[in-house]
Amino acid sequence: MKFCFEKRKIIICFLAVFGMGFFLSFLILCNLGTDPATFMNRSAAHRIGISFGTWQLIVNVAMLVVVFACERSLIGFGTLFNMVLVGYYADFFDWLWGKCIPAEWFTNTPSRWGIFLIALFCFIISAAVYINADMGVAPYDGIPIILGEAVAKHFPKVPKMLVRIAWDGAAIGVGTAVGGIPIIGIILMALFLGPAITLVRRIGERAARKPAEG
């Protein structure tokens, strides 16, 4: 029974990571803002001249070393799925949409914003499902968790969410320093992506507790 439960969680986690890469490709093509990590890594990859997926994997491996050294419990199958697959999925679908979807869909204001808002919503839902699977966090997400715990020990009144917002802000700063242009969507995602995922996760946890309580 336990094996079947773990197998189901792995499948859910894998599908959620697929969804993140799938919808991220639309966010990239709309060019109205992505999550801060993607902005940082895409800006650096463009500056260096390698694919987004490859550069994101390199950065994730470096961050994984830090997470492994500080808090191994944050690492799981989901960590590997996220760090390896999201960037390459986004690269693949970015290429695929360029072959089969008219470019003006991503440049005309009505369709561009419509696609962006739908993709943003679906990306957040996919990320929330990924987190709820509880199969490990992405290295990029693991570091602010570690920093948040460290800050809480010395400054207990400082909300951990502020640490996350500061971490995302630093990623935007790095992306800007290497040539990226922060668009309003990136700022909004830096401010609201983390809180929105947390909210969805709490709703899921409450829903899961109700049958048990009944």
Euclidean distance between CA atoms 93 and 55, whole angstroms? 17
Residue 181 to residue 178: CA distance in whole angstroms: 9
**pLDDT tens-digit profile of 187-211?**
777 677 667 767 766 776 676 566 5
- Cα separation, 126 vs 25, in Å, equals 13
108-145 CB burial, b ≥16 within 10 A, e <16: eeeebeebbeebbebbbbbbbbbbbbebbbbbbbbbbb
Enclosing domain of residue 176: 2-213
Please, are residues 35 and 104 in contact by the beta-carbon 8 Å criterion? no
pLDDT attached to residue 3: 45
pLDDT of residue 214: 52
pLDDT at residue 200, rounded to an integer: 67
pLDDT in the model for residue 121: 84
- Backbone dihedral region of 120: left (phi > 0), alpha (psi from -120 to 50 degrees) or beta? alpha
Interatomic CA distance for residues 145 and 149, integer angstroms: 6
The pTM of the full predicted model, rounded to 2 decimals, is: 0.84
Q: How far is CA 190 from CA 15, 100, 105, 132, in A?
A: 24, 31, 25, 20
Number of structural domains in the chain: 1
Taking the C-alpha atoms of residue 154 and residue 132, their distance in angstroms, rounded to an integer, is 29
pLDDT of the residue at 94 = 94
Q: What is the structure's pLDDT at 75?
A: 92
Nearest CA among 160, 148, 170 for reference residue 37: 170
What is residue 189's predicted lDDT score, i.e. its pLDDT? Answer: 73
Give, for all 214 residues of the chain, the pLDDT tens digit: 444 557 888 888 999 999 999 999 999 999 888 888 999 999 999 999 999 999 999 999 999 999 999 988 999 989 999 999 999 999 999 999 999 999 999 999 899 999 998 998 888 888 878 887 888 889 998 999 899 888 888 888 878 778 888 898 899 999 999 998 888 777 777 677 667 767 766 776 676 566 555 5
